Copies of this chain bind each other. A is one copy, B any other.
Amino acid sequence: MLGLKDVSNRVLEARYAVRGPIVRRAQELQKRGKEIIWCNIGNPQALKQEPLTYIRQILSLVEYPDLLNDKHVDEIFPSDVIEKARFIIAHSKHGLGAYTVSQGFEFVRDAVSKFITKRDDITARAEDIYLTDGASQGAQFVLSMLIANPNDGVMIPIPQYPLYSALISLLGGKQVNYFLDEDNDWQLSQASLEQSIKDAKQKGINTKAIVVINPGNPTGAVLDHENIEMIIEFAREHNLSIIADEVYQENIYDNEKKFISFAKVMCELDVRDVSLFSLHSASKGYLGECGQRAGYLEVRNIPTNVNNELLKLRSIGLCSNAAGQIILYLMVNPPKKGDESYELFTKEKSGILNSLKRKAHLLSKGLDSVDGIECKTPSGAMYVFPRIDLPDKKTDSDYCLSLLESTGVCVVPGSGFGQLPGTWHFRATFLPPEDQIKQVVEKIEDFHTKYTNV
């Protein structure tokens, strides 16, 4: 029989705190009847965010096209929903039950390329787009290609989203940390990047790529133009590919800030010798369709022979789920002004984004007012990442476990994302409903005071 000794070290060493031991403990407690407030993961619809009506109406018709022939269909669905469903059915050809081509429906990739063009005023091509089961899968494909040897390294921010450290471990590569500057709003500094790659080199690591998460997870920071330019120049100088995780591009809550894509800045600078892999997803933004597993990967400045290898890799898993591909299509192709659904769609969308903004403030300000907790107001994404003072010999894992046991609030220790040694943090999403956010603040305040006064 199989034993732990037979399991690959790459698996044994991988860590994914977002669903790690504290979350499993929370699941146990919930089964025993304890009320849990799930702040561990950016899973909007598990926290009462409703799906957009437009998206689900169309999916409903596309899953069961016979419904379009029902005599009541015009009473049930808005005219633009019916029209869009007919368009999708005509273009998907075999419906949702057939494997699509490996990169995904061509009409969806066309729509994604037009979305990029409209967003950034740059050209984009359907053949450079891969539809994926969530952005995670896109990251997996890219890192599978790039990590060729045990001393191949990938730079990741600290703190980071632990998908990246987990994939690097699973693929047998080396994690090369660069530290974000907490005191400077978690921005990147060239000095920190240079230090990081220099240290890696001294350890014999061949650094091949840099991961940038913008807006930041867990930090909530939004990178400015200058920062992005600096990173592109750094990547060029060190011959690194850039993996730009841009899944939170719609989640910006600071009126002074704006999402700028790596693709746009690269085109502006006319940089053609730095390979770029950009990730986007329907799980975040205002759709929050996590369970549908829909994302895309766009590649730029990749020679055709490398793109062919990526295509082969993608083809081994056949294709991403077809319903998810349709959701992605709708994400980049929302109803237009004048369409029957436009008003409801816009109302739902701004309802979600405005509520997120309020909750980002509520949670961060609330926590920041607690003695011993320092919490920045996030400019983007879905999380706060407060810094906490802890008693001697206590770790953030101890803290988060105690918090869970005594209050039912489930957050993830900063160690799961990485942090400057000697500092402690936790990540909490501000997705729960507003009344629950208030409870979370009260519970944490009460807990923190007791915990640190022992």
A391 contacts chain B at the CB level, 8 A cutoff: no
The answer, yes or no, to whether A219 is at the interface (CB within 8 Å) is no
Once the chains bind, are A170 and B316 in contact (CB under 8 Å)? yes
Give the distance to chain B from A444, nearest Cβ to Cβ, in Å.
Answer: 24
Instruction: List residues of chain B with CB within 8 A of the CB of A187.
Output: none
Q: Known: A97-B45, A316-B166. Contact between A321 and B291, CB under 8 A?
A: yes
CB contacts (< 8 Å) of A43 on chain B: these are: 98-99
Contact in complex: B291, A319 (CB < 8 Å): yes
**Is A95 a contact of B45 with CB atoms below 8 Å?**
yes
| Contact yes or no, B98 A45, CB < 8 A | yes
- A196 on the B face (CB < 8 A): no
Q: Does A46 belong to the interface (CB within 8 Å)?
A: yes
Does A241 make an interface contact (CB < 8 A)? yes
Q: Return chain B residues, CB-CB under 8 Å to A44.
A: 97-98
Taken together, the copies of this chain in the complex come to: 2
Q: Is A51 an interface residue (CB 8 A)?
A: yes
Chain B residues within 8 Å of A146, by CB: 2, 6-8
Contact in complex: B60, A63 (CB < 8 Å): yes
Q: Which of A67-75, A110-118, A331-339, A414-422 contacts B (4 or more CB under 8 A)?
A: A67-75
A350 / chain B contacts, CB cutoff of 8 Å: none
Of B70, B144, B273, the residue contacting A76 (CB under 8 A) is: B70
Say if the beta carbon of A172 comes within 8 Å of chain B.
yes
Interface residues of A in 162-210 (CB under 8 A from B): 163, 166-167, 170, 172, 208
- The complex places the Cα of A63 from the Cα of B293 at a distance, in Å, of 14
**A410–B324 alpha-carbon span in the complex (Å):** 28
User: A324: which B residues are within 8 A, CB to CB?
Assistant: 321
In the complex, the answer to whether B64 meets A59 with C-beta atoms within 8 Å is yes
Give the segment of A11-19, A220-228, A256-264, A355-363 that binds chain B. A11-19
Interface of chain A residues 27 through 84 with chain B (CB within 8 A): 27, 41, 43-46, 51, 53, 56-57, 59-61, 63-64, 66-67, 70, 72, 75-76
State A324–B133 Cα separation when bound (angstroms): 12
Mark each residue of chain A from 373 to 404: 1 if its CB lies under 8 Å from any CB of chain B, else 0. Answer: 00000000000000000000000000000000
Q: What's the Cα separation between A319 and B134 when bound, in Å?
A: 10
B7 touches A312 (CB 8 A): no
Instruction: Give the shortest distance, in Å, between A352 (CB) and chain B (any CB).
Output: 12
Given A56-B64, A76-B72, A100:B291 Cβ within 8 A: yes
A269 lies within 8 A of chain B by Cβ: no
Report the nearest B residue to A289, measured CB to CB: B97
CB distance from A319 to the nearest CB of B (A): 7
Contacts of A6 in B (CB 8 A): 146, 148, 208, 306
Measured in the bound complex, the distance between the Cα atoms of B1 and A59 in whole Å is: 40
Point out the residues of chain B lying under 8 angstroms from A305, CB to CB: 4
- Indicate whether A8 sits within 8 Å of B147 (C-beta atoms), given known contacts A98-B45, A133-B133, A303-B2: yes
Contact of A301 with B by CB under 8 A: yes
A177–B91 CA distance with the chains assembled, in angstroms: 42
Closest 5 CB pairs of A and B: A291-B322, A60-B64, A46-B98, A45-B97, A8-B148
Give 22 pairs: A residue, B residue, CB < 8 Å, sorted on A.
Answer: A1-B275, A1-B301, A2-B302, A3-B306, A4-B305, A4-B306, A7-B146, A7-B148, A8-B145, A8-B147, A14-B312, A14-B316, A19-B315, A44-B97, A44-B98, A97-B292, A133-B133, A170-B313, A290-B318, A291-B322, A293-B320, A293-B322
Interface residues of A (CB under 8 A from B): 1-4, 6-12, 14, 16, 18-20, 27, 41, 43-46, 51, 53, 56-57, 59-61, 63-64, 66-67, 70, 72, 75-76, 94-102, 133-134, 136-137, 140, 144-148, 163, 166-167, 170, 172, 208, 241, 272-275, 283, 288-293, 301-303, 305-306, 309, 312-313, 315-324
